[in-house]
Chains A and B, each alone.
Chain A
Amino acid sequence: MNSKKPQGLFHLLPYLLIGVYFGIVFTKSEVISWFRIQEMFRFQSFHMYGIIGSAVVVALLSVQWIKRTNKRDLDGEVITIPPKEMGSGTRYWMGGTIFGLGWALTGACPGPMFALVGNGITVMTVAILSAVAGTFTYGVLRSKLPH
């Protein structure tokens, strides 16, 4: 019983390290900068497009390799990635547009919001709390929204 808990926490260590790695990459590549997001939406630099584009290419090649070779994860489970349900598609373009409005205003998607707090822009904690409130509001209204 007691021996299980430390092991559980130990399991989390790789995720902590990946997070630290992300925070460094986000900061050093300036994707957490409101200015960079503005530059992207004004089509005035290739920087953000290059980052997102090359991230997708690397992820795409490796995900296809994982799927084709039926790779297993470290726990020995076959890796499965559930497909996203299209439905009417409304949730994707409508939710996506709402997200985009917020992305351009805050200049940060959820990951970078947290990296900014680490960078000392502590006022972003307010944006994070607002984002939690937004997610909560979605949960409340979910059954009434077209999906």
Chain B
Amino acid sequence: MIEFISQPWPWYVAGPLIGIVVPALLLLGGKQFGISENLRHMCAMLPTKVEFFQYDWKSGLWNLTLLFGIVIGGWIGTNWLGNSDPIAISEATRIDLLALGITDFSGLVPSELFSWENLSSGPGLIFIVLGGFLVGFGTRYAGGCTSGHAISGLANLQLPSLLAVIGFFAGGLIATFFLLPLIL
């Protein structure tokens, strides 16, 4: 059993396990699945006069708790249930990334871009600091992230969510095919 769990999980196991949380949260307390709301709650904790953050962040305590759980789950997933094999990405992706100068495929993320040592390098700043900023700005502008729009929103047949998801992919493709070759 533990050996099975230690393998990477296939999509047809992981996808349904993620999707089932949407009705679970609704049935539990009428809550809607949306991770990026937490970034707004964190802003609302700050002493600020910005109108968008003038509400009681404690209304989102359930969601912040869930977010904290994700950190713990990440730790458990890797320390208790993990294996040390590299991510089994397709050969085509490996070749594309090698051509861009990525050589370390041993971890979850390439250490050339995501490490404290490389944080102050040009690419490190762009991938981590600018990338993070765009995620936080874009998700609130769009009113949701992958969880709120791509999963909850599409599940509720919301046209705005479809528009947002098309935007997610447009942005992702622009970054992958135009920005990455420029930066790396």
Residues of A whose CB lies within 8 Å of any CB of B are 11-12, 14-42, 44-60, 62-63, 65-66, 71, 73-75, 77, 79-81, 83-86, 89, 91-111, 113-124, 126-140, 142, 145
Contact = CB atoms under 8 A, between A and B. Distances in A.
Interface of B: 5, 8-33, 35-36, 38-40, 42-43, 46, 48, 50-53, 61-63, 65-78, 81-82, 87, 89-90, 92-93, 96-97, 105, 107-110, 113-116, 119, 126-143, 145-147, 149-161, 163-176, 179-180
A41 B176 contact: yes
Which one of A27, A96, A117, A128 has the highest number of Cβ atoms from chain B below 10 Å of its Cβ? Answer: A96
Which one of A27, A47, A52 has the highest number of Cβ atoms from chain B below 10 Å of its Cβ? Answer: A27
Contact of B77 (A28, A55, A91, A113): A28
Contact of B74 (A23, A46, A103, A104): A23
A45 B52 CA distance: 40
Interface on chain A toward B: helix, strand, loop, or mixed SS?
Answer: helix
Contacts of B173: 41, 100, 104
Contacts of A15: 28, 31, 62-63, 65-66, 69
Contacts, number: 505
Given A55-B18, A84-B160, A92-B142, A62 B167 contact: no
A64 B105 CA distance: 41
B65 A16 contact: yes
